[in-house]
């Protein structure tokens, strides 16, 4: 058995939220970052469109705040939105200071090339061509690796939070306290306690719960599931954002076709080559995502077509190759399609979880010494539907605030506790990988078919019945099996899928991303968060 790792700060996850926080607290104590894949693997790395912030003279904080509220369909918390928007530009200046080179206009002024996306009334998206996430992740990771107080543990999977229920000396406490996390080292298959004064959950989203998703494999909702098991408050899990345009490539991997293409003037057309979004919303292709995704879904169902098309052929080919090199190359290589000559086949796919672990405006969760930040968190900024490119911004802004809080705070309790080692006595089997795989596929199909873009009570109940069986099966296997990454991911994804269904069943209205055919209108009595 390996030793216990101790640090002032434990960070779980190495995307924009975890790394930004780590870099800020590292001057005040030792930081251990655990991350379940390699350091760069994260949703952050795949972000294309960019980061929203008020930057130009024509824009204003009021406009960005207003756009965020409109997209959020009445559920955004105004204090959180104000923090996000007002503090955004300062955090972006810091990123630029670290070395992120956002694209500039080819003019003498050298101003940033601000893009527009759905739901934004102004151009305000800073980007690095269509590879913004990779540029940001690369710089943050480099800075973290250079910091003497930061130690990065790759292929280390956080299994459970260590809470007062685990500590040996039966600490009497009125509080729910976090002391770190049990972490599986994938190389030697040992689970090691990582003890820390403060723990930051920055584990990202859970959109892999759906058959079609823009997210990489890591997005299995681990942080939300761990927090839920530890009794931490979670909110608004019913609001799953489906991105309107992921590449339609049956059998292939999901790949995002950025909203920035529509922001650039790309048009959506159906199989007959006709534009259709005007029939669904006057803002057409630039309506907020929930509306565009539902418009596409309705159009596909109405016309019995498997996809719609995003047309960029009316632009100069060199301009498109220069502005969207990643998307251009990917389509050419994987489906042999030149996007400057032919429209791109697209379908909606699960993209972002608006709900998550409830936090204060400083990232504090309902558990002492435990912070959460980034996609895993519910700060209140996104309401019932996130405004495009507000997510990277949320990671930056609230990581900064959480760091400020953690630096100033004294952890509870004020005395040493004794952390027990991971106890594997009593486990006797290994959950077969093919069973895990089957369960994964089953969950992702259930969620796609019954808990997708358009929902109904009947379908949600059907999903709930099926998920109950899987939930019980997985928990039973977990209790008798040696833990593996695959089993842990299945367990967490099961829990998150269950939370999404249960939350959806509690909201008998349609609002933002949650659309119920049997309750097609907004209702004032549901103008509140769904809290688990
Ligand atoms: P992530 O970047 O997902 O990082 C999570 C980290 O936690 C990873 O390192 C992961 O390995 C680790 N982890 C997870 N579970 C565990 C565990 N149990 N133990 C240890 N480590 C764990 N947003 C925008 O604002 N603008 C965009 O242009 C944009 N484009 C996008 C394009 C794509 C294809 C996708 C998928 C998302 C996009 N988003 C965009 C959303 C945005 O990228 C994410 O919401 C944001 O990057 C989340 O950052 P994060 O740090 O919270 O999580
Ligand atoms: C995109 O580039 O379309 C993704 C932007 C986002 O998710 O905010």
Query: Per residue in 180-205, pLDDT tens?
Result: 999 999 999 999 999 999 999 999 99
Ligand found nearest the CA of 373? 1
Q: Is 413 within the bounds of a domain?
A: no
What does the pLDDT look like over 274-321, one tens digit per residue? 999 999 999 999 999 999 999 999 999 999 999 999 999 999 999 999
Band (462; pLDDT cuts 50, 70, 90)? very high
Ligand found nearest the CA of 387? 2
| Residue 157, domain CATH | 3.50.50.60
What does the pLDDT look like over 211-233, one tens digit per residue? 999 999 999 999 999 999 999 99
Cα separation, 330 vs 332, whole angstroms: 5
Candidate list 91, 129, 262, 289, residue with the active-site label: 289
Query: Is the domain of 305 the same as that of 339?
Result: yes
What does the pLDDT look like over 50-103, one tens digit per residue? 999 999 999 999 999 999 999 999 999 999 999 999 999 999 999 999 999 999
Band (431; pLDDT cuts 50, 70, 90)? low
Domain that holds residue 33: 5-238+354-408
Q: At what angle do helices 457-480 and 485-506 cross, to 10 degrees?
A: 150
Provide the 8-state DSSP code for 132.
Answer: H
Q: Is 525 within the bounds of a domain?
A: no
Q: Is 422 within the bounds of a domain?
A: no
- Coarse DSSP helix, strand, coil percentages of the chain, rounded to the nearest 5 percent: 40, 20, 40
Q: Quick one: 4 exposed, middle or buried, by C-beta within 10 A (0-12, 13-18, 19+)?
A: middle
Residue 49 CB–ligand 2 contact under 6 Å: yes
Cis, bond preceding 110 (omega within 30 deg of 0):
no
Has residue 439 got a pLDDT over 70? yes
Q: How far from chain centre, in Å, is Cα 350?
A: 10
Q: Is 416 within the bounds of a domain?
A: no
Query: Is the domain of 220 the same as that of 105?
Result: yes
Query: Is the domain of 288 the same as that of 333?
Result: yes
Q: Is 289 a catalytic residue?
A: yes
Has residue 388 got a pLDDT over 80? yes
Has residue 168 got a pLDDT over 80? no
Query: Is the domain of 255 the same as that of 231?
Result: no
Query: Is the domain of 256 the same as that of 312?
Result: yes
Q: How far is the CA of 47 from the centre of ligand 2 (A)?
A: 7
DSSP string, 338-386: -TTTSPEEEEEEEEEE--EEE--TTSB-SSBTEEE-GGGEE-SSSTTSP
Please, are residues 328 and 334 in contact by the beta-carbon 8 Å criterion?
no
Ligand found nearest the CA of 394? 1
Please, are residues 443 and 497 in contact by the beta-carbon 8 Å criterion?
yes
Candidate from 16, 22, 47, 397 with most ligand 1 atoms within 8 A of CB, to mutate: 47
Q: What is the pTM of this model?
A: 0.97
Query: Is the domain of 57 the same as that of 121?
Result: yes
Domain boundary among the residues 332, 348, 364 is at 348
Task: Find, among 288, 344, 257, the residue nearest to 117 by Cα.
Answer: 288
What does the pLDDT look like over 23-39, one tens digit per residue? 999 999 999 999 999 99
Q: Is 425 within the bounds of a domain?
A: no
Which pLDDT value is given to residue 169? 58
Which pLDDT value is given to residue 239? 98
Cα separation, 283 vs 291, whole angstroms: 10
Domain count, the chain: 3
Query: Which residue's entry shows tokens 């050298």?
Result: 110
Strand order across the 308-311 sheet: 240-247, 344-353, 308-311, 267-269
Query: Is the domain of 45 the same as that of 87?
Result: yes
Query: Is the domain of 267 the same as that of 229?
Result: no
Band (2; pLDDT cuts 50, 70, 90)? low
456-478 mean pLDDT: 95
Ligand 1 pocket: which residues have CB below 6 Å? 12-18, 34-37, 41-44, 46-51, 132-133, 157-158, 202-205, 214-215, 218, 222, 256, 352, 374-376, 389-392, 395
Residue 308: which H helix or E strand, with range?
Answer: strand 308-311
Query: Is the domain of 335 the same as that of 383?
Result: no
Which pLDDT value is given to residue 170? 56
Has residue 153 got a pLDDT over 90? yes
Query: Is the domain of 168 the same as that of 225?
Result: yes
Candidate from 20, 23, 41, 44 with most ligand 1 atoms within 8 A of CB, to mutate: 44
Looking at ligand 1, which residue's alpha carbon is closest to its atom 21?
35
Residue 391 CB–ligand 2 contact under 6 Å: yes
Contacts of 90 (CB under 8 A, 6+ apart): none
What does the pLDDT look like over 488-524, one tens digit per residue? 999 999 999 999 999 999 999 999 999 999 999 999 9
């Amino acid at each position: 058995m390996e030793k216990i790792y101790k640090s002032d700060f434990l960070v779980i996850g190495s995307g924009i939220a975890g790394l930004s926080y780590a870099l800020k607290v590292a001057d005040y104590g030792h930081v251990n970052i655990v991350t379940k894949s390699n350091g760069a693997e994260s949703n952050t790395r795949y972000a294309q469109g960019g980061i929203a912030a008020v930057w130009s003279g024509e824009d204003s904080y009021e406009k960005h705040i207003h756009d965020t509220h409109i997209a959020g369909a009445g559920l955004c918390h105004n204090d959180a939105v104000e923090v996000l928007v007002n503090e955004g530009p300062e955090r972006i200046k810091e990123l630029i200071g670290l070395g992120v080179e956002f694209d500039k206009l080819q003019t003498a002024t050298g101003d940033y090339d601000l893009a527009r996306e759905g739901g934004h009334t102004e151009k305000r998206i800073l980007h690095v061509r269509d590879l913004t996430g990779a540029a940001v992740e690369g710089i943050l990771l480099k800075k973290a690796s250079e910091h003497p107080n930061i130690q990065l543990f790759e292929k280390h999977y956080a299994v459970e939070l260590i809470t007062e229920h685990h500590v040996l000396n039966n600490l009497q406490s009125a509080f729910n306290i976090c002391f770190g996390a049990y972490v599986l080292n994938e190389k030697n298959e040992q689970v090691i306690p990582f003890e820390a004064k403060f723990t930051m959950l920055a584990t990202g989203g859970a959109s892999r719960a759906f058959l079609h998703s823009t997210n990489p494999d890591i997005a299995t909702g681990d942080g939300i599931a761990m927090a839920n098991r530890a009794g931490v408050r979670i909110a608004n899990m019913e609001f799953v954002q489906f991105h309107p345009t992921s590449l339609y490539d049956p059998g292939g991997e999901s790949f995002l076709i950025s909203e920035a293409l529509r922001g650039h003037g790309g048009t959506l057309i159906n199989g007959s080559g006709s534009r259709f979004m005007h029939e669904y919303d006057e803002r057409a292709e630039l309506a907020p995502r929930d509306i565009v995704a539902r418009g596409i879904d309705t159009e596909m169902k109405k016309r019995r077509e498997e996809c719609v098309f995003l047309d960029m052929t009316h632009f100069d080919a060199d301009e498109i190759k220069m502005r969207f090199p990643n998307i251009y190359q990917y389509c050419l290589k994987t489906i042999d399609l030149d996007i400057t000559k032919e429209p791109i086949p697209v379908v909606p796919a699960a993209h972002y979880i608006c709900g998550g672990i409830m936090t204060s405006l400083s990232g504090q969760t309902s558990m002492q010494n435990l912070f959460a930040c980034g996609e895993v968190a519910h700060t209140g900024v996104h309401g019932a539907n996130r405004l495009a490119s507000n997510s990277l911004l949320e990671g930056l802004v609230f990581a900064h605030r959480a760091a400020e809080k953690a630096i100033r705070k004294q952890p509870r309790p004020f005395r040493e506790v004794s952390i027990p080692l991971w106890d594997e006595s009593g486990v006797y089997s290994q959950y077969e990988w093919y069973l895990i795989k089957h369960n994964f596929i089953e969950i992702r199909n259930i969620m796609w078919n019954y808990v997708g873009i358009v929902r109904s009570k009947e379908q949600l109940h059907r999903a709930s019945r099926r998920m109950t069986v899987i939930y019980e099966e997985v928990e039973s296997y977990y209790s008798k099996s040696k833990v593996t990454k695959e089993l842990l991911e299945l367990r967490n994804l099961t829990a998150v899928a269950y939370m999404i269904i249960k939350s959806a069943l509690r909201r008998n209205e349609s609002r933002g991303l949650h659309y119920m055919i049997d309750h097609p209108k907004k209702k004032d009595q549901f103008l509140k968060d769904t809290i688990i």
